[in-house]
Structure 1
Amino acid sequence: MKLYQAYNICIASELPLPELMESEGKPDVIVQFGKINDTRETQHDGGNTFQGEVAEVGKFFIQRGREVVIDPVLGVEEALLRTILLGPILSILLRQRGLLVLHASCVDINNKAVAFMGGSGWGKSTLAAAFHTKGYDILTDDVMPIEFVSDSPIVIPAYPQFKLFPEAVASLGQDTDRLSPVFQNSPKLSYKFERGFQQTPLPLQRIYVLDKGSAHKITKLQPQEAFVELVRHTRAISLVTNPQFVTSHMRLCSELINNVTFCRFTRKPSLTDLPELVKLIEDDLAQINTKDFDQKMIARVP
């Protein structure tokens, strides 16, 4: 087994995971191949013990946030197996470890985590990659775990890779011919980067919920709207259905709403507007920082 680092945990895996950074030390999670028989299937409780199957890929057994057993279909492509493991399977495992796991990409802006949340194909990765191209560090792409430390939400970094459509890669000035598909016949390319990965967890400042429209605009969400969007964009919410986990999930969503601002970010579907979108976010966050500074100065006035 090789040791890897991702999501602030050490993973020992029989399946090679070249997307991740290699690590050393005592593993927190073991990923191994094995047969998933009737005994394991009867242990499934939709919470700390989970058994699932992906058609034409294989069966997966995930237990207590510490163990993943893979029973692959004969001849399945390793790259496809890795994609399922690093996405939906680790999302379940991270939820078992007590984290809130969102469908979001996350960027380091002024030492604060700023997230873009939305469904598949909504432009999360493309927008985060646009920030990366401009020199910002990246924490997550697609799977964003949040841990609460003294009631403060902290984003846990993932690993240095984007999954992008070819036209998005080209719009960012990258050579698509130098990149490989995420897996065979995948519509997306694997864009691994060596620089600009934020490896240290950061406090979460704001979540932008992505939407499409006829104009670019940012509007603040009310708590009720934010709650609906959080539930809508929580990873593996339809899979981890144990009542204890559902109750915990609702509590974590409420805590997040109490500590983080949510905005709806409506954009026109145009890749040529990416620089404008980055500037719009930068200006919006600058207003927050200005208000915070003004409030601190007022507080100091005798």
Structure 2
Amino acid sequence: MKSYKAYNLCIASELQLPELTETEGDPDVIVRFGKVDNATAMQHDGGQNFLGEIPEVAECFIRNGREITINPLAGVDEALVRTVLLGPILCVLLRQRGLLVLHASCININDKGVAFMGGSGWGKSTLATAFHNRGYDVLTDDVLPIQIKTGQPIVFPSYPQFKLCPDAATSLGHDTKSLLPVSQNSFKVAYKLSGGFQQTPLPLHNIYVLDKGSEHKITRIEPQEAFVELVRHTRAISSISEHEFMANHLHLCSELIKNVRFSRFTRKPSLGDLPELVKLVEDDLAELNEQDECSALKAPQTGSLGLYEQSPPAWA
């Protein structure tokens, strides 16, 4: 059993996970092979004990955010088993551990997390890779785990690999002949980062909700609309159905909206416009930072010494 690092966890696994970085230390999570018997199935409660099945791949039992028992079907491609373990299965486990888990990719811009949220095929990984090509570090691809306790929400890094469509990989300057499929019969290829991976958690400041349209533009989103998008793009929301978890999920969404900027990022479907899209986001963030600085300067004076208290951002 080897130990790996992902999502700010030490994961000890009987299944080898070459996508992850090996580490040492006491495990936070243990992954074992095993069958799910009737006694185990009786523990399923839709919350801290979860029994699930990935059709034609494996069945699994996830206990208390700490233990995963996985039983692959005979003859299933091992790479496919790893893909579902690192994706939907770990999403359930992360939710059991109290994290908000979104369908999003995240990059590091000036030591702040900037995320792109959307459904499958909406360009999250492609955009994040485009920023990586411009020298920005990346935190996550497709799975965005966020810790929300007090103050600024924190993003936990995933692991240094993207899953890209071949045409997107080609447009970003990568030779698809040197990239392996994510799994057997998968149309996506695995692009493993040799550098530029943000290994430590970062505060999350911006979420861009991806959309398709006839022009490239960024517009602000009101809190009610942001809430709908968060619920729409939460990972494993249909799996963890216990009432307490659902109530906590709605609370986490509300807290995130109070502390993070939300914008709608509408784009034309053109891979050739990726440099323009990167510049559009850079300019938008620069404008928002300028607004924050102006808000701080205009904050009311307090005390006889004329010191300024930093006012909350206008988007809070």
TM-score by length of 1: 0.98
For residues 26-105 of structure 1, what are the structure 2 equivalents within 5 Å? Answer: 26-105=26-105
285-294 or 273-282, larger mean C-alpha shift: 285-294
Aligned to 1:153: 153
| Runs of at least 5 residues in structure 1 that lack an aligned partner in the other structure | none
Shift of residue 297 of structure 1? 3.1
Shift of residue 299 of structure 1? 4.0
CA RMSD of the aligned region, Å?
A: 1.0
Shift of residue 300 of structure 1? 8.7
Name the count of aligned residue pairs.
302
1:293 aligns with 2:311: no
Q: What is the identity, as a one-letter code, of the residue corresponding to 1:193?
A: L
Shift of residue 140 of structure 1? 0.3
Shift of residue 72 of structure 1? 1.0
8 A contact 1:226–1:262 mirrored in 2 = yes
Q: Deviations over 1:90-127 (max 9, x none)?
A: 00000000000000000000110000000000000000
Q: Larger radius of gyration, structure 1 or 2? A: 2
Q: Counterparts of 2:48 and 2:300 in 1: how far apart (Å)?
A: 49
Secondary structure of residue in 2 paired with 1:180: coil
8 A contact 1:151–1:255 mirrored in 2 = no
For residues 1-302 of structure 1, what are the structure 2 equivalents within 5 Å? Answer: 1-299=1-299
Q: Counterparts of 1:153 and 1:237 in 2: how far apart (Å)?
A: 19
Aligned to 2:309: none
Q: What is the identity, as a one-letter code, of the residue corresponding to 2:250?
A: M
Secondary structure of residue in 1 paired with 2:264: strand
Runs of 4+ in 1 over 2 A off after TM superposition: 294-302
Identity fraction in percent: 66
Shift of residue 298 of structure 1? 3.5
Q: Deviations over 1:61-103 (max 9, x none)?
A: 0010000001110111110000000000000000000000000
| Runs of at least 5 residues in structure 2 that lack an aligned partner in the other structure | 307-316
Q: Deviations over 1:11-50 (max 9, x none)?
A: 0000000000000010000000011011111111111000
Q: Counterparts of 1:227 and 1:56 in 2: how far apart (Å)?
A: 34
Q: What is the identity, as a one-letter code, of the residue corresponding to 2:244?
A: Q
Secondary structure of residue in 2 paired with 1:211: strand
Q: Counterparts of 2:73 and 2:299 in 1: how far apart (Å)?
A: 63
Q: What is the identity, as a one-letter code, of the residue corresponding to 2:4?
A: Y
* CA separation of 1:243 and 1:300: change in aligned 2, threshold 3 A: closer
Q: What is the identity, as a one-letter code, of the residue corresponding to 1:192?
A: K
8 A contact 1:181–1:190 mirrored in 2 = yes
268-277 or 142-151, larger mean C-alpha shift: 142-151
Q: Counterparts of 1:148 and 1:282 in 2: how far apart (Å)?
A: 26
Q: Counterparts of 1:195 and 1:94 in 2: how far apart (Å)?
A: 26
Shift of residue 268 of structure 1? 0.1
Q: What is the identity, as a one-letter code, of the residue corresponding to 2:261?
A: T
Q: What is the identity, as a one-letter code, of the residue corresponding to 2:33?
A: F
Q: Counterparts of 2:58 and 2:88 in 1: how far apart (Å)?
A: 13
Q: Counterparts of 2:125 and 2:212 in 1: how far apart (Å)?
A: 15
